[in-house]
Amino acid sequence: MGKRRLTERKLKRTKSHRKALLVNLARALFKAGRINTTEQKAKELRRIVDEIISDAKKGGLSNIRKVKAIIRDNEILEKIFKEVVAAVKDRNSGFTRIIKTGYRQGDGARMVIIELVDREAEKERHKDKEKEREKDKKEKVKRK
């Protein structure tokens, strides 16, 4: 058997348009933590995001420059190297999760949510903050 799927998905776009699309999707994913998109775009985006996070985990000046050449946004770059890398430091791969959500009404394209797997840690931190707020509210009620 020959090797299969060595090239990227074309997504019915020119190379420059495809590159711009995937970089913009990667930026949006790192900024928001999760995005809605089509299944094929998400599967192609996963390849890029996993490579970016792997390079960021390695550290070093050359890897910082390599990631910066792709992302080109200092705010997101800082978030990747501080928050995302810290959250996935124990993982070797599989930094994203794809959740199928159904079909788009207009053209029937399969829609998915792609998210960074460290969002679980973010949810736990958010729950802890909510518990602290509830304690503060109870203390205020007791004072009155």
Length of the chain: 144
pLDDT tens figures, 82-135: 999 999 988 898 999 999 999 999 999 999 999 999 766 666 666 777 777 787
Record the tokens describing residue 70, joined without a space.
């792709």
Options 3.40.50.2300, 2.30.110.10, 3.90.1030.10, 1.20.1280.50; CATH of 15-117? 3.90.1030.10
Residue type at 140 in one-letter notation: K
Q: Output phi, psi for 59, to 5 deg.
A: 70, -170
pLDDT tens figures, 39-88: 999 999 999 999 999 999 999 999 999 999 999 999 999 999 999 999 99
Domain boundaries, the chain: 15-117
Greatest pairwise CA separation for the chain in angstroms: 77
Q: What is the DSSP string of 16-46?
A: HHHHHHHHHHHHHHHHHSEEEEEHHHHHHHH
